[in-house]
Structure 1
Amino acid sequence: MNTNRSQRKKVKVLVIEDNDDHWTLMEKAMANSFTEAVPVRVASADEALMLLEDWLLEEWEMPKLILQDLYLPDNKDGLSFVRRFKSMPVTCNRIPIVMLSSSSIHADITEAYQLGVSSYALKPTDFQGWITLFNDLRFYWLETVTLPTTHYSL
């Protein structure tokens, strides 16, 4: 797809990240390399679920992608979010989740996929790594895959 970046549609991205330093890096990197994203950040799984429940009433507000930290502050919170999210109505629970984590522990990765995350990526260790990650995410989620159309209930 050879679409001019300035002509691409903006997409809402829900970011669930409890670490302010990571969020600062993510926000700057997204502004640099995932310019179509309109990030909405929350710092906890509970905040994310409340926001998603509100958006269920206004389905056009639903994000196209969720970027979620696994450790919120521990992996039980991140995995609990995925379980609870997947039990939400279909208009919501099909939104792809990209799990971002510093953990390369096999059990964390396996459980995240078993619960239904779409992708699991290790958090970069420097700003250039974040730029690369968001370039890759933008290319994959906006140009490579085709996501189902959202159907609004009346």
Structure 2
Amino acid sequence: MENLNEVEILIVEDNPLDAEMALRALKKNKLTNKVLVVGDGEEALDFVFARGKFDERSRQSRPKIILLDLKLPKIDGLDVLKEIKSHPETKVIPVIMLTSSKEESDLVKSYQLGVNSYIVKPVDFDKFVDAIREIGFYWLLLNQQKR
């Protein structure tokens, strides 16, 4: 992604195969114009808060949605979610937990911390494409966001 201020979808995923599958599903649904993939929670927070290697990015420019994995290196998904939802300027960003965890405790904790949606990754690619289409249609097209 050339202009980091134009990122619409931030994918936070440490598994390269899952990240590639998400990108393929977005592409198949024509939702890939402005996507950035980061591989750990620390990098996600650095992007959102325009610090570290993203310090030249405008902090006022926010992604339209964040697709966040739960189990991440450095800083896990729940801590990333907690940090994003605890700041007035970033708490309005829709965060969709896109994870393989079916644990009730992960689901409950995610909603307690302010996640907008919790989706268990389908194993089947066609079902994953359908899930991504629904996410994109709702969060990028239908949902009205504060800018």
Task: With the length of structure 2 as denominator, give the TM-score of the two structures.
Answer: 0.84
Structure 1's 34 and 99: CA in aligned 2 closer, same or farther, altered over 3 A? farther
Question: Which stretch has the larger CA shift, 35-44 or 55-64?
Answer: 55-64
Name structure 1 gaps, 5 residues minimum.
1-9
Identify the match of residue 143 of structure 2 among 131, 139, 145.
145
SS in structure 1 at match of 2:119: strand
CA drift at 1:100: 0.7
1:117 alignment counterpart: 115
8 Å contact 1:85–1:93 — kept in the other structure? yes
Alignment deviations for residues 118-137 of structure 1 (CA, whole Å, 9 cap, x no partner): 00001010211121011101
8 Å contact 1:34–1:134 — kept in the other structure? no
Alignment deviations for residues 6-48 of structure 1 (CA, whole Å, 9 cap, x no partner): xxxx861111000001011111111111426521110111001
How does 1:2-151 map onto structure 2 within 5 Å? Answer: 12-35=8-31, 37-54=33-50, 58-73=58-73, 77-88=76-87, 90-148=88-146, 150=147
CA drift at 1:112: 0.2
User: For residue 68 of structure 1, what is the amino acid of its counterpart?
Assistant: L
8 Å contact 1:29–1:134 — kept in the other structure? yes
Seq. identity, %: 33
CA drift at 1:53: 1.5
Name structure 2 gaps, 5 residues minimum.
1-5
Question: Which stretch has the larger CA shift, 59-68 or 20-29?
Answer: 59-68
Structure 1's 52 and 142: CA in aligned 2 closer, same or farther, altered over 3 A? closer
CA distance in 2, matches of 1:135, 1:51: 24
Poorly superposed stretches of 4+, deviation over 3 Å: none
8 Å contact 1:18–1:43 — kept in the other structure? yes
User: For residue 50 of structure 1, what is the amino acid of its counterpart?
Assistant: D
CA distance in 1, matches of 2:39, 2:120: 19
User: For residue 42 of structure 1, what is the amino acid of its counterpart?
Assistant: V
Aligned length: 138
SS in structure 2 at match of 1:26: helix
Structure index of larger Rg: 1
CA drift at 1:147: 1.5
